[in-house]
Every structure is written in C-alpha cells, then in structure tokens.
Amino acid sequence: MNPCRAQTLHRVLVGKFVGGWLIGDLIGCGGSAAVFSAIRNGQEAALKVIDPELLDEFGREQQSRRIVLEARLVGEGHPNLVKLFEAGECLVTRHLYVAMAKLPYRTLTATIGSIPAEAIGKIIEQIASAAQYLDQRHICHRDIKPDNVMVSDDFAHAVLMDLGIISPFDAAVAGSVDPSGERFIGTARYCPGEFIRNQVTKTAVGYRAVTFYQLGGLLHDMIMQQRLFDQIDGPYARLIDAIDTVTPVVESDEVPRHLLYLARDCLRKAADDRTRLVTWNRFRATEPNASLDARLRVRASLSSLSVADVGKVSIAPRIDRTVLLELGRMLRDRLAAVCDGNTDLLIPSIDVDVVGHVTQLTAEFEPVPARGLYRKFRILFQAEPVLGADLVFLLDAEVSASGQKTTEPPSRVRICIVRDLNYDPSIDFEDFLYKVIADQMGQPAKSAGRSRG
C-alpha cells in the first residue's frame, strides 16, 4: 500500500472502530497494509489493516488464510518477536486486521548509519533468536529486512515485526496460503534468488536458507551503513541480476571479524552453501576471550563450535598447488607459534604436504612421561577447499597414537573455517591442543596383556 492510499484509508477509518479497536493516527504503511495507532478498553495497540484493493486483486479467501496463520501466533511469547493481541476480520467493516504491541522504537532502516559497532552483534543475535523461535515452530518469516526490525533508542533491544507473509514448512499448508505457487511475495532486495524464483525447497532446511540470507542482509546494512545492493536503482531486472551475480562487499575495521564472516556466509548465492556454513549458534557466538583460563577456553570453544555442523563438499574447486602449499606453510607457522609461545603445550615436529586438492599438516609429538604422556601421538590436520569462488577451507584434524589397539579409523574433528590465507587460527589450534593433550595424559604406552600366572 503506497502512502497516498494509506492516507485515504486513514481519512475513512480515523475515529471509527475496527474489530472493537478505536482508530487513531496513521503510523505507517507497507506493501500490503496500513498501520494505525488504536485503543480498546484502555489497551493501546498498533493495528494493521490489510489494503482493501489487495483483497480485490488477489481474493479475500487467500488473505483470510494469511490472517488465520498469523492468529496462530497470538499469545506466543518471545522477547524479540512482536506480540500479537488478536487477528481476524471486523464483522462491521469487513476489514482484515492484526492487533499487535505498539513499540516506542524506530525501524532499523531509520537508524542505519547511527548504530554503534558494538551494538551490531547484540541486535543480530536477538533477531536471529526470534527467527529461530519461529523455525522451531516450523514457520519461516520470509520478510526479515530493516523495515521490519524495531530497535530501542539505546540499541539494547530489537524486535522482529510484521508476520504478514509467514509460511509454514508444511508444503500442503503453504500451498493453501500461496495457491498459485508462482507469484513472488516479499522484498526482492533482501531475498535470495531461489525465493524470488519460487524455487525454495519446501523443507526446514530450505526455508532456513532463506532466513539466513535475510539475516545476512540485516548484518550487511548495519556493518556497511547502507542498503543491500544500494548502488542498484532503476529497472527491477537490474536488481535481480545483481542478486544473482554480485557478491556484496562486507568489510569494516570497527566490527568484529566473526560478524563480517557470518554476513558473507549468509549472503552466499547457493542455498546449500548457506546451510553448510551457517548454523544458529554462529549468531550467538562471541569473540574468544583471552582472559579465560585454559580449561574454560577449551570448554567454551567446544560448546560453541558451530562450524562442526559444516558438511563436506564432494566436488572441490581447482586451486593452484602453490596456493595450497602457501596455506600449509601459514598453518605450520601458526601452529609452531602457538606451541612455542605456551609452556603448557608440547613442541611437535611438523611436516606440510599437498595431496590432491587437500593441504595436509602432520604434527608428531614425542612422549613426555614426566607430564603423564607415555606414548607418541600424531595429529593430522587437513584443509579442504569449499566449493565456490572464495578461498575458504574446512580445517579438520584426527589424532592417532602409537600402540593404539583399534580397528576403527581415527575420528575427525572440525577445527575451524579458514577464510583466507591471512586468517589466524591460533586460538582454534590452542583450544584443540589442550583437549588433545588432556585426552592423551595417562594413556599407557601400549596395551597391557594378561599375565600368564
């Protein structure tokens, strides 16, 4: 609904009742509705009234089903999701409406450019939490964008708004809400290509890929202080082409690096890449705290290792061998620096090799009986490239020890995602080495057989 139509509807409704709510000022308008301040029995609300012309164009029945879908969330409670009071059809005016909490906040769009760098992580954590809350109820928001996020003046509290185009994961129910299955509903600037083309896989993972992309759009705007694809104005086709082909720049010297990496991963073109590289935990992750003692650091690292959910890629990109060797030397130097600079750790002998498209790092550790390490053990680190244009590697490790009696192959552990040749995995190495050494302490040099008596 454009502002002119919203003003016209306001002149018709102001001072009247819709669903028992007395209409006051016009708050704003969006693609499908106008929002008014309203009051009923002393309770204030923001009342969204669906555009009557939309009902004429697409049918009242379809929009009524959307209202019924929203009504299922009445009474649901999450601190970062807009609270709904009721949703339905006014028996007098026949307007479809949704009554929700009225917040004294501004939209994220209105605050872009003034958000402190230190507030960005908290805002995206809160909005992602609200999106995950819907995800756990098998619902996808589908319209996460700066216009649909409200933030307090101190940027301490953020709320996800406008549940007008939510979709259930269940394909049958989703089809009843969007019966044509062909018309795009959403905001193209903040939607991935598969959503615009109605090619979303109708599963939890498919819808989650859409959500991750839109959360990445929020991060982009807060970090870069401008709209996603802001340089693209004009024909709609130009925007769609940019969504398909242009990789958004996400870079800042003021924002924590893990948020930059998260935004880039969320905005990947391929849905499978997004769900491979991003998990809900990454929105809650904080930068490593060097002041924690070693034991707590290891535990914190293991509990928040969202990258452990990253899958393997069957087809590797072609990367020059010299780049793989350079990566190996960088990893070797980082590992050596960590071991040399920490007296808690052991100093291994380290070899670098390239096998096919995989960079391998072998670290051999000698026994140190005085420290309860009675046998030699080896760590094989493997950095395998992720399919895509960027130099991104999955760094795994497996541990084996001499005298180890088992027919099972060593288990592989995800250490981290190496974003580029300048990435510093020192903290990841250190946490992992503490865990390995703790596991190896007290292990016998070889299996003890039964005595013959």
Structure tokens at 407: 């027919």
Name the percent of the chain in helix, strand, coil, to the closest 5.
40, 20, 40
Name the E strands within 259-385: 349-355, 358-365, 377-385
pLDDT at 328 (0 to 100)? 92
Superfamily of domain 1-102: Phosphorylase Kinase; domain 1 (3.30.200.20)
Which residues are paired to 231 by β-bridges?
A: none
What value does the mean pLDDT take over residues 29-47?
Answer: 93
Task: Give me the residue spans of the domains in the chain.
Answer: 1-102, 104-287, 307-440
From the candidate CATH numbers 1.10.3720.10, 1.10.510.10, 2.60.40.790, 3.40.50.2300, the one assigned to the domain spanning 104-287: 1.10.510.10
Q: Are 138 and 127 contacting, i.e. CB atoms less than 8 angstroms apart?
A: no
217: part of which helix (H) or strand (E)? helix 204-224
Q: pLDDT band for position 180 (50/70/90)?
A: very low
Average pLDDT, the chain: 84
d(CA 135, CA 271): 16
Q: How far apart are CA 370 and CA 61, in angstroms?
A: 77
Q: Does the pLDDT value for residue 154 go beyond 80?
A: yes
pLDDT digits (tens, 9 = 90+) for 230-252: 988 778 899 999 999 988 989 99
Q: How many angstroms separate the CA atoms of 138 and 373, rounded?
A: 49
Q: pTM for the whole thing?
A: 0.65
Mean pLDDT, to the nearest integer, of 204-218?
96
What per-residue confidence (pLDDT) applies to 125?
96
Sheet order of strands, 158-160 included: 106-107, 149-151, 158-160
At 345-395, the pLDDT tens digits run 889 999 999 998 899 999 999 988 888 788 899 999 999 887 554 678 888
Q: Could you tell me which residues are annotated as the binding site for ATP? A: 48
Q: d(Cα 251, Cα 261) in Å, to the nearest integer?
A: 9
Check if the beta carbon of residue 212 is closer than 8 Å to that of residue 262.
no
Cα–Cα distances in angstroms (integers) from residue 258 to residues 89, 245, 327, in the given order: 46, 24, 20
298: pLDDT strictly greater than 50: no
Summarize the annotated binding site as residue ranges.
48
Cα–Cα distances (Å) from 206 to 1, 167, 375, in that order, read: 29, 12, 47
The pLDDT of residue 308 is: 38
Lowest mean pLDDT among 84-93, 242-251, 306-315, 341-350: 306-315
- CB environment 409-435: b (16+ within 10 A), e (fewer): eeeebbbbbbbeeebebebbbbbbbbb
Angle at 395 between CA 393 and CA 400, to 5 degrees: 155
Which residue(s) pair with 47 in the sheet?
36, 99
**DSSP-derived 3-state class of residue 57:** helix
